[in-house]
Structures are given as structure tokens and as C-alpha cells.
Amino acid sequence: MKRDVPYKTYLAENEIPTQWYNVRADMKNKPAPLLNPGTLEPMKAEELYPVFCEELVKQELDNDTPFFDIPQEILDFYYMYRPSPLVRAYFLEKALDTPAKIYYKFEGNNTSGSHKLNSAIAQAYYAKKQGLKGVTTETGAGQWGTALSMACAYFDLDCQVYMVKCSYEQKPFRREVMRTYGAKVTPSPSMTTQIGQKILKEHPGTTGSLGCAISEAVEVAVGSEGYRYVLGSVLSQVLLHQSVIGLEAKAAFDKLGVKPDMIIGCAGGGSNLGGLISPFMGEKLRGEADYQIIAIEPASCPSLTRGKYAYDFCDTGMVCPLAKMYTLGSDFIPSANHAGGLRYHGMSSILSQLYDDGLMEARSVEQTSVFEAATQFARVEGILPAPESSHAIRAAIDEALKCKETGEEKTILFGLTGTGYFDLVAYEKYNEGSMSDYIPTDADLEKSLSKLPKVDK
Amino acid sequence: MKRDVPYKTYLAENEIPTQWYNVRADMKNKPAPLLNPGTLEPMKAEELYPVFCEELVKQELDNDTPFFDIPQEILDFYYMYRPSPLVRAYFLEKALDTPAKIYYKFEGNNTSGSHKLNSAIAQAYYAKKQGLKGVTTETGAGQWGTALSMACAYFDLDCQVYMVKCSYEQKPFRREVMRTYGAKVTPSPSMTTQIGQKILKEHPGTTGSLGCAISEAVEVAVGSEGYRYVLGSVLSQVLLHQSVIGLEAKAAFDKLGVKPDMIIGCAGGGSNLGGLISPFMGEKLRGEADYQIIAIEPASCPSLTRGKYAYDFCDTGMVCPLAKMYTLGSDFIPSANHAGGLRYHGMSSILSQLYDDGLMEARSVEQTSVFEAATQFARVEGILPAPESSHAIRAAIDEALKCKETGEEKTILFGLTGTGYFDLVAYEKYNEGSMSDYIPTDADLEKSLSKLPKVDK
């Protein structure tokens, strides 16, 4: 096979970025501030300290500092599984017979199976540095919980994970990986919290929800000496940590002397997409370069393409601050969708603002077409992709096929966030032809959007 | 963390070996030839052609050619997931507080989750080149079947996998990965073969065995136009293909200016160990260097440490050629042992001869101590290891702890063959404290060894 660049490009260890990039510093329109759900005033740092680690609160609220040094302890851990490769998808290009040049940044080569580890290790580090005993969190699909368990094992921190009960029961292997890394995994709702007890009393037999698990994790963090709550997506601090993906990708492209025309990423809460596009968006914001940037979301949970840009609750329990974001309403419950990591009702404030400013596009894709792309990709590129990542694959294939029609030699970069080793129930459904698509009706969305909180900002 | 070499060393794509190394060429005492089970005469190439691809038969019988060019089509596929990293286990060294320098060659970063892909792609290539329609094989734990499915998908070959029924039922996810890559997976014994029908009639309700699955796969290959049988371990051709592991490791060490003192690998049929040690053993055989080489096997299936060096059947159905090897008897059934890839009753003829000549050592380790090592490794090095690979981890840790006592700064290399993502039932047992050890009694072994075929060679 003729190759003008290597199939995989790895940076050397001393080329791994030593600073995170904060895209907010280059945004003319900053993301709207978090609001106190009681006073509807912007949250002050002190109000967030009982919930989040202090250093992370500072990162969360900082719209101005362009670069943050990555502490050496985090860099050491990064060396364990980074650099991740920038892969030229020669085999996929050949299968599609396209003139497009397709690249992907692959974040799945670690035990968490996804990019989540990039932020987990940062959040665990700051918790350790603050002298905490441990952290609490929630997990749905389980990638974030696994990543946090690994990070906490490394820093010898206690890790308490509230796992949505239906996932806990359907994904015993995910739970077992977390236990192997020493985490305490509790199916949510549980009797260990007041909110859990309340929900179980009102809805006996419920299999839980992400919103409920968040509420339990926050309750335990706030109520326990030496604990804080951590979150794997949506927050601006998470996008800051995930900027390592984009910075590495950009450094690898620079080494190859290549510039992508188009950057595609799947979008749930926005952690992967926000991280991948950060340095490219920075260039775009500063007028140094232009890129077409596309967020891909599931048609079953289309916050950017069909949601409303408004203040909303981050959790169904309504205990967290309000965030201004593209949202379907915190009441929105996406139906059967195997891309568990893309089921969040809202979108990162940073990405919401960039989208609202016309700096990026968004599209939604349907589940069966996503698995069709996933299977095609697996067979030619060898990697079994996570359902979440496969949303980006679908769009990249579609774009490459457009190039085939027009003859354009576009250079496409997409984020391959993770592997699908723990998603084989979904693959089984697809292989057996029993997978279906679901698109919420306008009435569904009107209903959940009608319950947005009234905020004049 | 202070590092005198990088945490991970990747060769560049143009440094990946372009030839396999055949260690038999440098062996003074060649491995004993395969025998025809009917005549007890050495198998001729023509006799093997109905079962195996012609090019592979030539590789199997060639004790003299030191190097074989790797065809470009196979190299292209290697680029998809190779080079694999040579990792310096700084975090493990720190946790053990040892002066030893520990390295591991990690083969798990591909969807098959193990080194098996190295030989699968070679065997699929030669089948395709010969114009075949497809191949058949058996799989126990599922790593080999997955690897072969991936290779066949790449070359558009039909792939029929007979999966031991108990694994088929206990590991539905492995099965599903194979199906995603287009393989046809049949639980064995099945009604699709005469031998399967016979066994089901005699033992209704049996959950199958590797020996039976081999017999079914061979029957289908021999009886179907355009099909051949392929095998993932034991055979000399497999060790040839797997030499890419050792060649890459050696090239990486040479780049670093480091020479290992000790090389450790787990041993089931011998594919990983044989591949890893090949070039080092070559130097040892040629008197150019010396290395301590140690095979690690499970105490529950101790072919090298407690078996007999004799001709034996390769399968329980006794349809395959006889091989001279360290064996526990083809009748030996290892009891509950989660390292499914290390349950074979015999050992590669090449490794058996090298061991018999005193060129390598062997040790056996017990399952619970293996999972203890696996868990410790996972927590500090981030990778969740396969149970098979964890046998090598156990021994490497033990050697590093000896160095701590003696103060020696030995350089240890071990093979980390794969990941444990599909072995979480075993991890669960270990986490819950319900895992037990099993060591066959002398009487058990006498019984199975008493049935060795009578061969005067």
C-alpha cells in the first residue's frame, strides 16, 4: 500500500503537550456563567468549594487564562497511555474509494476504553493535592466511572461511584473493572442517600437515571468529611483537560505538514469534541486559520440540532447550578439508545456558545446507520469502535463519500474516542437486525422544553 | 518521575521487521518431526496439504531457512496495529521498590486483545493467495477466533469458528465480536459434523472441549471444497509468525542500548513465548549472548514442569499428526482454570526441544497468586491484563522482589500478551474471594500419561 504519511503518527514522549489550552480565552463571546439555583446570581468560587475541589473551581471559572501548566504528576500518568496515535485511515479510504484523506485521533488504547481518563487523572490529582480522602461520581455507560477508578487507584484515593441501576445490572463487567481498581460501586438509586431513599419510596422498582445518580453522588460528597464530587463531561474544566487530545493531534499534523479541512466529533456532554477541536478553534477564533467543525449527536437525543439555548438544570434532581446551554430540558428522557455516553439532555456551555455564534455546525444521525458505519470501520481498520465514537465515523464516511462524488481531496479529522468492548449487547442487536431507531417527536420536545426554569439572562 | 529511557518505545513504521526469524535454523537439535498417526512415519508435505495451506506446510516443515520475507500484504496489515510498544514498567518498579529494571512488550492493543493477530493475518493471507474460499478453526477462550475473524474480514475470506460450547455460552461477547467481523461461530459439539453428531449421541448435554472443536473444524476443512484448517498455537509456523514480537522487542532494546538479562513469558501452546524469545534464543544458540529464559505455566496444567517429553496426539479426537512434545497426555483435562489460553495438554515442539536441551527454564504458578499480580499490575501500570499474560507478570514481580533482597539491578523483559476485557468473570471471582487453586495429583497425571501412544522415536 502506498503511503505518503505513516499509518500511525506517535509523538515522542517529550513532545506530549505540557500545558492545557483554554479555548475560552480566545472566545469573544464567553460562555454564560453558572447560576446559583436559589438566587439565580452567577456562582462564586466559594459557593462551589463544598462540591468541587478548589483548584478545579478556579479552572471552571477562568475565562481568560489561555494556558494552564499540566502538573508533573499528571504528565507522569499521561506517559502511561499517551501519546495516543493520529491514524491515517488508509484502509477506510480504500474501502470507500474516496479521494478524501481521512485521519482519526484514537483515544481508546487504555483500560477505561476512552478519552475520559484525560480528565479523570487531573481531577483525582487536584483532589489528592487538596488532601481529600476521596471523590464521588456517577456513571451511566461506565467509561467515566472506570477512568475515575483507575485515576483514584493511582493516587490512592477512595472512589465512590453511583452507577445507574439498569447499567449496573446490564454491564456487570464494567462494574467489575471498577472494583478491580478498588472503587466502591453502588447501584443508583440506593438506600445510602436521602435522595435515593426518597426516590425508591416514590418509585419502587425504578432502574434509575443519570440525574438521580448525580444527585446521590453530590449528596454523599457534600455530606462526607474530605470528599468532593467530580464530573466527566459538560464542565469547562473537563474541556480544558481534554484539550490534550486536540493539542496532540495538532502537533502530529504539524509534524506531517498536513492541515485538516474538517474536524468531526461525537457530542454528548461535549468533553471529547471540545477537547479535540480546542486548538483548531483557537486558530479560527484568532483568525489564523479556518476549519469546518461538525458536532455529531444521536437523533434520539439532539440537544444542538433541536434543543433550545437557555439556562437549564444540569441534573434532574435540580441540585446543581444552572448552566446556559443547548438543552432538551432536564426532564427529557432519551429512549432506547445504546450510545450511553451521548444521552445527556444538555451540552457544554463552551460548545453551546461556539455553536450559537456559528463557529461550528451540528448534525444528528440515527442509530442503525451509526452501527452500519461502526461495522464497516471495524472490518477495514481493525478497531471495534464504541457506539459513541461511531457517530463521528458515520459522518466522516458520509463526508468522504461526498468527496468521491465531487472529486474533492478534503482532509478529514475525526475523534475516535473509544472502543466498544463493553458494548457488545448493542452490537448483538445490530447483528441480529433487531436494532431500531427512535426520534423524539416535536411534541415530546415541546413538553420537556416547557419546563425550563425561568431565567432572564 | 525520573526516566533514563522513555516509558514507551515505539519503533517507526519503517523499523518494523520485514522478515520473520525461524529459530529452528540455529538449533543444533531440531524439533522432532510430526508423524503420520497411521504409519508413524514423518509426515510429508503432500500428506499435510489437504489440511493446511501449502505455503504454511512449507513453513511448518522448514528447519533450515533462518529468515522468511514477510509479504507486503501482511506488512500492510501489521502497520494497522503494530509496532507494539516496549514499555518500561517504571510504576511497577516504584511500587515494588526494586532495583530491577522491568520491561514488557505489550501485544494487547488490538481488537483481538492479544498477540494472536500476528499469526492469524499470515495464515489468512496464505489461504487467500492459494485461492481458497475460507478457513475453519476452533477457539476456546476466544482470542484466536477473534483474531482470525479480523484477518478473514480483511482478506474477504469465509471464516468458520467452532467454539467450545461452554465458552460460547459463557462468553457471548467474544462470540459477538467474531460475528461483527463476519465469522460464522458454531458451538461445539454441533450437528454440523459427523464427529459432532457422534459425540452428542454418546454424551448428550456435553459442553464440549477444545479437542472436540479441533476435530469438527478439521472435518469441515477437509470435507469442503476450497477450505483449509488453521491453528493459533503449538505449530512451528505459528512461532515463526510470532517472531515479529521478539524481533520488534530486540530492535527497540537495541535503540535504547539496553540488553535484558532475563526473558519471561507465559506458556500454553507456546505461541507467545516462542515468538518473544526467538531472536534472543538465536543469539544464545549461536553463542553471541546469554539470556535466562523462563516459561511460566499454570500449576493446573503443567506440561513442561510435570509432563513427559514424548510423542502424543495433538487433539483428543486423535485425527491430527503426532507431535513430540512435553505433554500431560491428550486425555488430560485441566480443571477450572480461567486462563483459557493456557489449558493445552502439550507444548510447541520447538520449545519442548529447547527446554529438553536446557536452554530455557520452566516454572508453574497458582491461579490466585496470578490474579493478585494481575490486580497489582492493573492498578499501577493502568493495563488490565489477560489471565494468561498475568502468569508472566507473577514471575516478573517475583524476580524483581528477589532483586530487592539481593540488590541486583537485573533487566527483566516479560511478554504482556493481551488484555483481560473479556475475562471479567474470572476477575469477579477473584474480587469476591471465591477463586480457588487446583493442582493435579501425581495419580491424575499418571493416568493421563499412561495413555500416550507407543512410538519408538
Query: Who among B6, B79, B379 is closest to A181 (CB)?
Result: B379
**Which tens digits make up the pLDDT trace of A177-188?**
999 999 999 999
pLDDT recorded at residue A457: 66
Q: CA distances (Å), B159 to each of A261, B114, B127, B179, in order?
A: 39, 19, 11, 10
CB A211 within 8 A of CB A330: yes
Closest B-chain CA to A109: B109
Write out the DSSP string of A123-148.
Answer: HHHHHHHTT-SEEEEEESSSHHHHHH
Instruction: Identify the three-state secondary structure at position B72.
Output: helix
Query: Who among A12, A421, A431 is closest to B179 (CB)?
Result: A431
With both helix axes pointing from N to C terminus, report the angle between A194-202 and A210-223 in degrees, rounded to the nearest 10: 150
Q: How far apart are CA A373 and CA A423, in angstroms?
A: 15
Task: Inform me whether the pLDDT recorded for A356 exceeds 90.
Answer: yes
Q: Is A180 on the interface with B (CB under 8 A)?
A: yes
pLDDT recorded at residue B166: 83
pLDDT recorded at residue B199: 87
Contacts of B80 in chain A (CB under 8 A): 7, 91, 381-382
Quickly count: other Cβ atoms within 10 Å of residue B432's Cβ: 10
CB interface of A with B, residues 348-407, below 8 Å:
375, 378-384
B220 and B350 co-located in one domain = no
Query: Who among B76, B375, B383 is closest to A111 (CB)?
Result: B383
Beta strands in A251-336 (DSSP E): 262-266, 292-298, 308-313, 322-327
DSSP A331: T
Give first-to-last CA distance, chain A, whole Å: 57
Task: Inform me whether the pLDDT recorded for B306 exceeds 70.
Answer: yes
Q: What residues are paired with A322 via a beta bridge?
A: A35, A313
Distance from CA of B80 to the nearest CA of A (A): 7
Query: Who among A7, A10, A177 is closest to B10 (CB)?
Result: A10
With both helix axes pointing from N to C terminus, report the angle between A387-406 and A367-381 in degrees, rounded to the nearest 10: 80
Predicted confidence band of residue B445 (pLDDT cuts 50, 70, 90): very high
pLDDT recorded at residue B340: 67
Cβ neighbors of A261 (< 8 A, separation 6 or more) are: A291, A292, A410, A411, A412
Peptide bond into B6 cis (omega under 30): no
A200 and A226 co-located in one domain = yes
Q: Nearest CA to A414 among A266, A254, A250, A307? A: A266
Distance from CA of B303 to the nearest CA of A (A): 30
B149 and B283 co-located in one domain = no
Domain-embedded: residue B288: yes
Q: What residues are paired with A362 via a beta bridge?
A: A295
B36 and B88 co-located in one domain = no
Average confidence (pLDDT) over A292-305: 96
Domain-embedded: residue A75: no
Task: Inform me whether the pLDDT recorded for B313 exceeds 70.
Answer: yes
Take residue A125 and report the three cell numbers written for it: 490529582
pLDDT recorded at residue B334: 75
Domain-embedded: residue B457: no
Q: Is B285 on the interface with A (CB under 8 A)?
A: no
Cβ neighbors of A338 (< 8 A, separation 6 or more) are: A367, A387, A423, A425, A426, A429, A435
Predicted confidence band of residue B255 (pLDDT cuts 50, 70, 90): very high
Task: Inform me whether the pLDDT recorded for A208 exceeds 90.
Answer: no
Average confidence (pLDDT) over A241-246: 98
A92 and A138 co-located in one domain = no
Q: How far apart are CA A94 and CA A377, in angstroms?
A: 12
**Which tens digits make up the pLDDT trace of B93-146?**
999 999 999 999 999 999 999 999 999 999 999 999 999 999 999 998 899 999
With both helix axes pointing from N to C terminus, report the angle between A143-155 and B367-381 in degrees, rounded to the nearest 10: 90
Q: Is B95 on the interface with A (CB under 8 A)?
A: no
Domain-embedded: residue A226: yes
**Which tens digits make up the pLDDT trace of B393-403?**
999 999 999 99
Contacts of A118 in chain B (CB under 8 A): none
Q: How far apart are CA A246 and CA B144, in angstroms?
A: 35
Using the 3D structure, point to which of B236, B263, B298 is the last residue of a domain: B236
CB B348 within 8 A of CB B236: yes
pLDDT recorded at residue A174: 92
Take residue A397 and report the three cell numbers written for it: 464516511
Predicted confidence band of residue A126 (pLDDT cuts 50, 70, 90): very high
Q: How far apart are CA B282 and CA B263, in angstroms?
A: 13
B444 and B336 co-located in one domain = yes
Using the 3D structure, point to which of B203, B236, B269 is the last residue of a domain: B236
Predicted confidence band of residue A330 (pLDDT cuts 50, 70, 90): confident
pLDDT recorded at residue A337: 59
Domain-embedded: residue A210: yes
Check B421 against A180: CB less than 8 A apart: no
**Which tens digits make up the pLDDT trace of B24-52?**
999 999 999 999 988 999 999 999 999 99
Using the 3D structure, point to which of B236, B258, B289 is the last residue of a domain: B236
Check B427 against A176: CB less than 8 A apart: yes
Instruction: Identify the three-state secondary structure at position A300.
Output: coil
Q: Nearest CA to B345 among B294, B306, B390, B393? A: B306
The answer to whether the Cα torsion of B250, B256, B261, B263 is positive or negative is: negative
A34 and A183 co-located in one domain = yes
A302 and A381 co-located in one domain = yes
Predicted confidence band of residue B312 (pLDDT cuts 50, 70, 90): very high
Q: Nearest CA to B414 among B381, B446, B442? A: B381
Domain-embedded: residue A76: no
Q: What is the CATH number of the domain that holds B203?
A: 3.40.50.1100
Check B109 against A111: CB less than 8 A apart: no
CB A327 within 8 A of CB A347: yes
pLDDT recorded at residue B339: 64
CB B400 within 8 A of CB B93: yes
Sheet with strand B411-416: strands edge to edge: B8-9, B86-88, B101-106, B411-416, B262-266, B292-298, B361-365
Q: Report the residue of A121, A173, A422, A434 to disrupt the B interface, i.e. the one with the largest count of B CBs within 10 Å.
A: A173
Structural domains in chain B (count)? 2
Average confidence (pLDDT) over A316-325: 84
pLDDT recorded at residue B252: 98
DSSP B290: -
Check A431 against B382: CB less than 8 A apart: no
Q: Is B290 on the interface with A (CB under 8 A)?
A: no
Contacts of B111 in chain A (CB under 8 A): 378, 382-384, 419
Amino acid at A177: V
Peptide bond into A172 cis (omega under 30): no
* Average pLDDT across chain B, whole number: 94
pLDDT recorded at residue A340: 67
Torsion over CA of B111, B115, B120 and B122, rounded to 10 degrees? 120
Query: Who among A8, A375, A380 is closest to B180 (CB)?
Result: A375
Contacts of B383 in chain A (CB under 8 A): 110-111
Query: Who among A1, A172, A427 is closest to B76 (CB)?
Result: A1
pLDDT recorded at residue A338: 64
Q: Is B91 on the interface with A (CB under 8 A)?
A: yes
Q: Report the residue of B3, B73, B79, B376 to disrupt the A interface, i.e. the one with the largest count of A CBs within 10 Å.
A: B79
A231 and A252 co-located in one domain = no
pLDDT recorded at residue A318: 75
Contacts of B180 in chain A (CB under 8 A): 375, 378, 384, 427, 431
Contacts of A80 in chain B (CB under 8 A): 7, 91, 381-382
Take residue A346 and report the three cell numbers written for it: 444538555
Q: Is B109 on the interface with A (CB under 8 A)?
A: yes
Judged on CB neighbours under 10 Å (0-12, 13-18, 19+), A346 is buried
Take residue B408 and report the three cell numbers written for it: 541486583
B156 and B200 co-located in one domain = yes
- In terms of residue numbers, what domain contains A140? 22-69+116-236
Q: How far apart are CA B275 and CA B239, in angstroms?
A: 5
B263 and B130 co-located in one domain = no
Q: Nearest CA to B337 among B391, B264, B414? A: B391
Domain-embedded: residue A256: yes
Write out the DSSP string of A377-426.
Answer: HHHHH---B-HHHHHHHHHHHHHHHHHHHH----EEEEEE-BB-TT-HHH
In the numeric block, the cell 416514590 is attached to A202
Check A431 against B176: CB less than 8 A apart: yes
Q: How far apart are CA A378 and CA A394, in angstroms?
A: 12
pLDDT recorded at residue B337: 59
Q: How far apart are CA A229 and CA A371, in angstroms?
A: 34
A186 and A299 co-located in one domain = no
DSSP B24: G
Contacts of A382 in chain B (CB under 8 A): 80-81, 110-111, 150, 154
DSSP A267: -
Predicted confidence band of residue B287 (pLDDT cuts 50, 70, 90): very high
Write out the DSSP string of B132-151.
Answer: -SEEEEEESSSHHHHHHHHH
Domain-embedded: residue A120: yes
Contacts of B182 in chain A (CB under 8 A): 379
Q: How many CB pairs under 8 A join A and B?
A: 111
Helix ranges, B135-235 (H): 143-155, 165-170, 172-180, 194-202, 210-223
Predicted confidence band of residue B240 (pLDDT cuts 50, 70, 90): very high
Q: Is B150 on the interface with A (CB under 8 A)?
A: yes
Check B13 against A1: CB less than 8 A apart: no
Query: Who among B7, B419, B424 is closest to A13 (CB)?
Result: B7
* Rg over CA atoms, chain B: 21
Predicted confidence band of residue B253 (pLDDT cuts 50, 70, 90): very high
CB A303 within 8 A of CB A346: yes
Predicted confidence band of residue A206 (pLDDT cuts 50, 70, 90): confident
Closest A-chain CA to B147: A382
Take residue B305 and report the three cell numbers written for it: 514442569
Check A111 against B81: CB less than 8 A apart: no
* Average pLDDT across chain A, whole number: 94
